[in-house]
Amino acid sequence: MLKLFHAWGSCSLASLITLEEAGADYELVTMSTKAGDQRTSEYLAVNPKGRVPALVTERGVLTETPAILAFVAQTFPAAKLAPLGDPFAFARAQAFNSYLCSTVHVAHAHRHRGYRWADDPAALAEMTRKVPEVEAACFQLIEDDMLAGPWVLGEAYSICDPYLFTLAGWLEGDGIDIARFPKVLAHSERMRSRQAVRKVLAEMAV
């Protein structure tokens, strides 16, 4: 059985929603990144990067959200979570998710995790200050050029949607009004109407 190491508030929400969408049988291990659960020797043996998500499969551990999402889509093809038979369309999905992990998530991380790239408190404060500007620019690009609508890739829901929903959920906390991006806002509302998302968000509220 699959086992997902997950933390509320982290990007692992995208993997959790996708496992639900796939109808996968999985065990959920909820961790607290604030408590430092991801730094324990026990967890580092699972994922030496000390990050979530990690998906334990019968063949080994997978990390990195774009890889986990594509794996779930490929392993549960009946759920139709990615355009698996079309290399170009699949690459567009991968490009979207790659942008989220390499640019949008990184923009957000400079708010509270600037220590990854600087030690000086003044530099950390400067990074935090600039986050709303940098992250809003990312979402403006998504709004203008990347979100086809109604779902990210167009008519078909895909593994891009829970990932965008997850990162869009960070906007308010980062001081950015999601209403500046009407398509992103409508997308998030559309996501909340899905059964899999409702189930996961209900678990979060417990």
Give the integer Cα–Cα distance in Å for 72 and 5. Answer: 15
Residues 127-146 that bind a copy of itself (CB under 8 A): 127, 130, 134, 141, 144-145
The one among 17, 79, 107, 191 contacting a copy of itself by CB under 8 A: 107
Rank residues 126 and 189 by Cβ distance to a copy of itself and give the closer one.
Answer: 126
Q: How many angstroms separate the Cα of 165 from the Cα of each of 50, 99, 103, 184?
A: 24, 14, 16, 8
The one among 26, 90, 165, 170 contacting a copy of itself by CB under 8 A: 90
Q: Which of 13-21, 123-131, 154-162, 179-187 is the region at the interface with a copy of itself (rule: CB under 8 A)? A: 123-131
Residue 164 CB partners (closer than 8 Å, separation 6+): 96, 100, 142, 147, 152, 184, 187
Residue 85 has φ and ψ, to the nearest 5°, of -90, 5
Size of the site for a copy of itself (CB under 8 A): 46
The one among 94, 158, 166, 188 contacting a copy of itself by CB under 8 A: 94
The SS3 of residue 31 is coil
- Which H/E stretch holds residue 187? helix 182-192
Give the integer Cα–Cα distance in Å for 132 and 170. Answer: 11
The SS3 of residue 62 is strand
Shortest separation between residue 202's beta carbon and a copy of itself, angstroms? 29
Shortest separation between residue 59's beta carbon and a copy of itself, angstroms? 5
Q: Which residues bind a copy of itself (CB under 8 A)?
A: 48-49, 57, 59-60, 62-68, 70-71, 74-75, 87-88, 90-92, 94-95, 98-99, 101-103, 105-107, 110, 116-120, 122-123, 126-127, 130, 134, 141, 144-145
